[in-house]
Copies of this chain bind each other. A is one copy, B any other.
Amino acid sequence: MDTRSKYRTKQRDILLSYLRSVGGGHITANDVCSYFKEQGAPIGQSTVYRQLESLVDEGLVNKYIIDTNSPACFEYVDHDMCQRDGICFHCKCEGCGKLIHLKCDELSDIMGHLNEEHHFTLDPKRTVLYGLCEDCRK
């Protein structure tokens, strides 16, 4: 199915610029809707979902599925920054539910190790590391 955008619409532009302004932050579809409603310029929720899906298909946005019980998270992909800083991983705290964005060279190295020694190509976009954060591990 080809969901790539063919038209450039106002909604698409402001959605993209909002995602960019949030940077590496994790945003749900509902967050997006609430934000624009508060701004006094609401976007229909189906538009938000459809545009986000398109942006994911285009590779401009990543989608993370944390759990069945929580909504999907989206985040803008800064391709330039990704090349500079390396790969991002995601840690989910089983205690407080917090999602942590992690840039870690050692984890990046592990990907190479898994590849060469275990013949497994890790997909950091899909993988979520579960555990306990600093506050919750007491």
Provide the A102-121 mask, 1 if CB < 8 A to any CB of B, else 0.
10101100100110011111
Closest residue of B by beta carbon distance from A107: B110
Q: How far, in whole Å, are A113 and B107 apart by their CA atoms in the complex?
A: 9
**Residue A11 is within 8 A (CB to CB) of chain B in the complex:** no
Question: Looking across the interface, which residue of chain B has its beta carbon closest to that of A127?
Answer: B130
* Chain B hits for A42, CB < 8 A: none
Nearest CB to that of A70 among chain B residues? B68
Q: How large is the interface on A (under 10, 10 to 19, 20 to 34, 35 or more residues)?
A: 20 to 34
Are the C-beta atoms of A132 and B120 separated by less than 8 Å?
Answer: yes
Residue of B nearest to A132 (CB): B121
| A131 beta carbon closer than 8 Å to chain B | yes
Residues of B within 8 A of A132 (CB): 120-121, 123
Q: Which residues of B contact A93 (CB under 8 A)?
A: 120
Cβ-based interface call for A22 (8 A): no
Q: Does A126 contact B (CB under 8 A)?
A: yes
Residues of A within 8 A of B (CB): 65, 67-68, 71-72, 91, 93-94, 100, 102, 104, 106-107, 110, 113-114, 117-123, 126-134, 137
